[in-house]
Structure 1
């Protein structure tokens, strides 16, 4: 669900559409009759107070997509100029400081200190040989390269902080970030350094509060011999009360190790672990064959401790990071969300996070919580299966005071859609932290996240190449999420692409209905053959790529982490007739769905609307299911 309101009234849309078509026709030399507007949106710039109307147009003959923006007076303008003006205004108001930190600094005493994120420039390192399918040895080599590069790059800032009587709380091993407790004067000095890009205040997070496996069809995949064998899953937890550690004494859980074995156990962490890996004969975890679990138990809910716990799990070889914690940030991506994006983009790992459990009433009612706002993660909402594996009657989860988050992140054109998928989040039986070791657990998106994390492990067991292609994991899971809980079947506000179906996603991978490649500007349009589609079947196609968080800190104005590429998805039937278009502005995925009217080979074509980086990691997956 988007939050854009009231803008349309100040624009004569019929006139704007006609002007846009005429302009693109003249600019590109294409007859107006061959151009079709496939999407339109308003781009907002809150600091400069500007609003632009934009349209995407498809050239029916070439399949190229063109765009244009008009301002409030109906004049054609360049959006890059508006972005630069917004960035300049942000710099003028706040410098390198996040607005919240700038406000805090303005009231700090000279002897007062605060813990901050210090984002640095991205160090130079040769990642070219780590872009494809990585063996475990190659992945460990990548991690070693990153640890050395970031340590060397962070050293001058750490040395400077020591001279300022500042305390270094944590230096990231896998991102250009240092956490430090600093004074007002040190913040001002840091902002003058050329190797410091942005500074922000740290925040605190809290957990996002019969068997769900048959509902999501995990048992079907088990019957095919896939249970998650060989895949390490990390349960990343903030404390609930005093503890955040998995109780590995539970006889239904596999062996595991903990980041902080000295900290108390947690019923929340233990229940989440069971949804992934319980071996109980009745209440099995989604991927009960995983060899071990990693309890990435943060000491506190502060983002410094969460980052440290995640990096321990990365070093231990986790391929899936299951993250069940939340923080309200008014729909704006903050530093921890960008850090999660960095893990996916830089380390090629699958990260699954909660949409959060915002209140039903109040200022933050229904808002997707952070880090669920991040681009590259799989954000998961929760639905209620009424304790039955049959799908009819399932509804989105809502408690007496909380609900599954669904109101979307703030974005330039206000058309991002979160969550990506939903899973069962209530009426669940899982492992507990004391005898008899199995029992009912609370409700919330916390308990939907591990179902999707387990599904990711099943897919990686099916195809080991997916351990280094989180983009393909996301595409396959979204393509397989055909259980429509509410709204439009393809994509809707509250359930995203829908409820997960592990068996459909497994079909996608098992039948080679997926691709993953590193692509460059000259690779487009990129065509994929969807082979052997039977008439009458529902086909869903998902393309997914990444934001590049290392490349731009901080982002334009208050719009976070802008994507370097905008791809659109076109689908054609065996006769070359177009059957589906997906052309959002601000998502890093596109999703198309249709019912095949004829049997044969269809084509999915990914076209570039915008491509500003050197390369992209692009994945596409499609599913075939009953309507």
Structure 2
């Protein structure tokens, strides 16, 4: 039995509690969890001279390098006297393991096994006939983000929306030169035809035979080659909806004049209850596209969208024309883009679409909301692509009981919630820490002006969040704050801290179900801060005032760049940064923290025991990025 076939329940049956399977030499051995924890603290004490009694393990997990088939105990050890965080990697004998050396061996093993191909593509190529053309996505070594930042005057300029608009244009120009230049460079390559270049990610799409793929692999600027997945589906079931965000029917929640993007395989019907501001339509109208767009922006007063009467920019063909559609949304300055779609099989492994969607958020500075997916007997509640990326939202579905209460709402029975594979598993081995979905909205029984019956599904949930982010843009104008259409790294934490857990289950619904009323409070009171984090700093701080007895929620998001992330196999995916979040009270005492692995955000909540200014600390634990600065956002809500 291999290491990935044994979960904790199997261990309990075989060995009793407190044992984990860890690499030891060329094989595996069972180790006591407490022995590993004790050894981690002891190692930090010996390395730093710290008092062992002052050392606290803030997080732990089993870190996996899939190609090598090795798994080690990984711990974040916090020195409470010095306020410093230390990472320790141990094998089954409690010997300290050199992480960089394991990374090097993993990279070499992956190259020997697959070259620059993903495992799936390598298998496809092996079984393909010599003249068979395969559709592939070619990832290139990315642009120099530091140079792009300097070109627009960062870090010295004020971090305003116009600066981010200039920076996005600079990113696009450099990516366009990169991908078009590559397309020209391979024009004479045997059996390769480039079909699409991108301004939003360092990728090109191509058709190539096995010989052509071999030629692409040989080029130094090529980083990875993956299959181009073109099979899509719409996560919509027929399974009831109240519109929590539109509880007060006045102009507070009207979004007329604010642009929102809606992307689908087909397009909404022309007579839908929508204010169409722009169309990119090549295919036939679809019922699914119609009801999901209306869930975002219906201008029917009796059945309103979350962003009532927003200006809808609607596009279809979002697989075959993905980059063209995203360029169009970007040129129209949409506040957010809704994708009530799934692409590819749900095998719990991130694919190129997850990464491409995330790169568009990073380079366009546009929020992207994607349906988490609906349960099917074949997928075991695995959250689906393309919602698995680090920068985009994955949105789950809540079943509202259609009354004025929140306590009796529940997660919809079809809403997928099992996280994708990533480098770390917690010691229970039951899940992975790259939490998806991050948030939920009501997606059951969603009557819209054009619906026939009560369509339900995460397809109907995602538009609720898309509409909320559009409202954030309105709120920012109402109160003279930042333009949220350029701050997805703020939109995500604002949405998360203003949400409420209806089912008290983070594992299934994320931060909870959206509340436009609470989100408006966050914007009105300025309970957020944008950071342009300098990698030379170990931490940055934000002041947060709270009164004794208040419940406070705090969230942090940073942009992740997968082209810098340190993993070979997508099963080991992790952000290129590992940031941590903690709060000290007005007297400098530690209150609580969030110290996760792999994902692109942190989230915590606490009940304030002291009135006054608390200190939110954003700590750098790992920085694999090639760039020196990264945009981040912190938000909080008090009640």
Match among 418, 424, 442 for residue 407 of structure 1: 418
- Work out which of the residue numbers 249, 260, 271 in structure 1 matches 2:271: 249
Alignment of 1:162-241 (within 5 A): 162-163=187-188, 164=190, 166-203=192-229, 204-209=231-236, 212-213=242-243, 215=244, 217-220=245-248, 223=250, 225-238=252-265
* Distance (Å, rounded) in 2 between the aligned partners of 1:529 and 1:449: 32
1:494 aligned partner: 508
Q: 1:390 to 1:90 in 2, by over 3 A?
A: same
Tell whether the 8 Å contact from 1:321 to 1:453 is kept in structure 2 after alignment.
yes
2:562 aligned with 1:549: yes
C-alpha deviation, 1:143, in angstroms: 5.0
The structure showing larger relative contact order (alpha-carbon pairs under 8 Å, at least 6 residues apart) is 1
Residue aligning to 1:573: 585
Q: How does 1:535-614 map to 2 (within 5 A)?
A: 535-552=548-565, 555-559=567-571, 561-613=573-625, 614=628
**Alignment partner of 2:208: what SS?**
strand
Aligned to 1:126: 148
Name 1:325's counterpart in structure 2: 341
* Correspondence for 2:492: 474
Q: Which residue of 2 aligns with 1:435?
A: none
Indicate the residue corresponding to 1:352 in structure 2: 369
Evaluate the alpha carbon distance shift between residue 382 and residue 77 of structure 1 in structure 2; reply closer, same or farther with a 3 A threshold: same
Give the Å deviation of 1:153.
Answer: 2.0
Q: Alignment partner of 1:551: what SS?
A: coil
Do the aligned residues in 1 keep the contact of 2:66 with 2:572 (CA within 8 Å)?
no
Show CA shifts across 1:17-61 (max 9, x none). 111111101211211122111111110122212111011122213
Deviation at 1:305, TM superposition (A): 3.2
* Residue-pair matches, total: 592
Q: Distance in 2 between matches of 1:28 and 1:456?
A: 45
Output one character per residue of 1:346-398: Cα deviation in whole Å (capped at 9) or x when no partner: 12111111111131x34x21101111111111110001113334323211112
The residue that corresponds to 1:456 in the other structure is 469
- CA distance in 2 between partners of 1:343 and 1:389 (Å): 38
Distance 1:219 1:130 in 2: 44
Post-superposition offset of 1:100: 0.8
Q: How does 1:512-527 map to 2 (within 5 A)?
A: 512-527=526-541
1:333–1:560: 8 Å Cα contact kept in structure 2? no
**Equivalent of 1:293, from 294, 299, 312?**
312
Asked whether the 8 Å contact 2:180–2:197 carries over to 1, the reply is: no
1:497 is displaced (CA, Å) by 1.1
Q: Indicate conservation of the 8 Å contact 1:168/1:181, yes or no.
A: yes
Shift of 1:4: 8.4
Inter-partner Cα distance in structure 2 for 1:534 and 1:180: 58
Distance 1:274 1:4 in 2: 46
The 3 A distance-change label for structure 1 pair 622 and 4 is farther
Write the deviation string for residues 561-617 of structure 1: whole angstroms up to 9, x where unpaired.
532321222222233332212111122211111122333322222222223332221
Shift in Å, 1:218: 3.6
- Conserved 8 A contact 1:333-1:373: yes
> Distance in 1 between the 2:125 and 2:594 partners?
44
* C-alpha contact 1:130 1:142 (8 A) present in aligned 2: no
Give the direction of change, closer, same or farther, for the CA distance of 1:62–1:509 in structure 2 (3 Å limit): farther
- The residue aligned with 1:58 is 78
Q: Which digits, 9 at most, give the CA deviation of each residue in 1:83-134, with x for residues without a partner?
A: 2222211111000111111111111112211111011122345234387645
Tell me how far apart the structure 2 counterparts of residues 15 and 144 of structure 1 sit (CA, whole Å). 53
The residue correspondences of 1:39-438 to structure 2 (distance < 5 A) are 39-124=59-144, 126-128=148-150, 129=152, 133-135=159-161, 141-163=166-188, 164=190, 166-203=192-229, 204-209=231-236, 212-213=242-243, 215=244, 217-220=245-248, 223=250, 225-238=252-265, 244-250=266-272, 252-260=273-281, 262-290=282-310, 292-298=311-317, 303-326=319-342, 327-359=344-376, 361-362=377-378, 364-398=379-413, 403-414=414-425, 415-432=433-450
User: Aligned partners of 1:133, 1:77: CA distance in 2, in Å?
Assistant: 41
CA distance in 1, matches of 2:34, 2:559: 34
Q: Name 2:632's counterpart in structure 1.
A: 618
CA 1:152–1:534: 2 relative to 1, 3 Å? closer
SS at match of 2:125: helix
Structure 1: distance between partners of 2:346 and 2:221: 27
Counterparts in 2 of 1:23 and 1:166: CA distance versus 1, 3 Å: closer
- Does the 8 Å contact 2:409/2:502 carry over to 1? no
| Structure 1, unaligned runs of 5 or more | 239-243, 433-437
Secondary structure of the 2:313 match is: strand
Aligned Cα root-mean-square deviation (Å): 2.3
CA gap of 1:297–1:130, structure 2 versus 1, over 3 A, is farther
**CA–CA separation in structure 2 for the residues paired with 1:429 and 1:577:** 50
- d(CA) in 1 for partners of 2:633, 2:117: 35
CA contact (8 A) 2:423 2:573 kept: no
Aligned to 1:241: none
Instruction: Indicate how the Cα distance of structure 1 residues 20 and 322 shifts in structure 2: closer, same or farther if over 3 A, else same.
Output: same
Cα offset for 1:441?
Answer: 4.1
Change beyond 3 A, Cα 1:195–1:304 = farther
Q: Distance in 1 between matches of 2:571 and 2:629?
A: 22
TM-score (norm 2): 0.88
CA distance in 1, matches of 2:141, 2:587: 50
SS of structure 2 residue aligned to 1:547 = coil
Kept after mapping to 1: 8 A contact 2:260/2:470: yes
Specify the SS of the correspondent of 1:549.
coil
Secondary structure in 1 aligned to 2:35? Answer: helix
Q: Which runs of 5+ in 2 are unaligned?
A: 12-18, 21-29, 426-432, 477-481
Q: Determine if contact 1:566/1:608 at 8 Å carries over to the other structure.
A: yes
More divergent stretch after superposition (154-163 vs 316-325): 154-163
Change (3 A) 1:521 1:54: same
- Rounded to whole Å, the distance in 1 between the matches of 2:597 and 2:153 is 29
Q: Secondary structure at the match of 1:368?
A: coil
